[in-house]
Chains A and B, each alone.
Chain A
Amino acid sequence: MTVKTPTSCRPYTLGGVTSGPPCCEPVPHVRIADLSVAYGGNTVLDGVSLDIYKGCITALIGPSGCGKTSFLSALNRLTDLIPGATVKGKVDIAGLDVLHPQTDLLALRRRVGMIFQKPNPFPLSIRRNLELPLREHGTRNRALLADKIEAVLKEVGLWDEVSDRLDSPALALSGGQQQRLCIARALVLEPEVLLMDEPCSALDPISSRVVEELIERLRGRLTVVIVTHNLAQARRIANYAAFFWMTERVGKLVEFGQCIELFDAPQSVLTQAYVSGAAG
Chain B
Amino acid sequence: MSERVFTSAIWLGAGVVTAFFLWLLGDLVWQGAAHLSVSFLLSDTLDSGRSGGIAAILLSTLLILAVALLAAIPLGLMSAVWLTEYTRRDNAWGDAVRMSLDVLAGVPSIVFGLFGNAFFSVYLGLGFSIVSGGLTLACMILPIFIRTSEAGLSAVSDDWRRNAAALGMSRASVLWHVLLPTAAPAIAAGLMLGVGRATAETAALIFTSGYVDRMPTSLLDSGRALAVHIYDLSMNVTGGDQAAYASALVLIILIVFINTGAWALSERWLARKVTFS
Contacts and interface: CB of A to CB of B under 8 A. Distances in A.
Do chains A and B make direct contact within the complex (CB under 8 angstroms)? yes
Nearest to B158: A81
A136 B168 contact: yes
A120 B166 contact: no
Given A83-B89, A110-B168, A133-B168, A120 B159 contact: yes
Contact of A124 (B169, B170, B177): B177
Interface in A32-87: 76, 78, 81, 83
B33 to A, nearest CB: 45
Contacts, number: 63
B181 interface: yes
- Helix, strand, loop or mixed for chain A's interface? helix
Contacts of A114: 163, 166
Contacts of B173: 132, 136
Contacts of B268: none
Contact residues on B (Cβ < 8 Å of other chain), bracket: 20 to 34
A12 interface: no
Interface string B155-182: 0010111111111111001000110011
A116 B167 contact: no
B276 A189 contact: no
Given A81-B162, A116-B159, A123 B167 contact: no
A116 B168 contact: no
Interface of A: 76, 78, 81, 83, 105-106, 108-110, 113-114, 116, 118, 120, 122-124, 128, 132-133, 136-137, 171, 182, 185-186, 189
Interface of B: 89, 157, 159-170, 173, 177-178, 181-182, 275-276
21 contacts: A105-B168, A106-B168, A109-B166, A114-B163, A116-B163, A118-B159, A120-B160, A120-B163, A122-B163, A122-B178, A123-B276, A124-B177, A124-B178, A132-B167, A132-B169, A132-B177, A136-B169, A136-B173, A186-B166, A186-B167, A189-B167
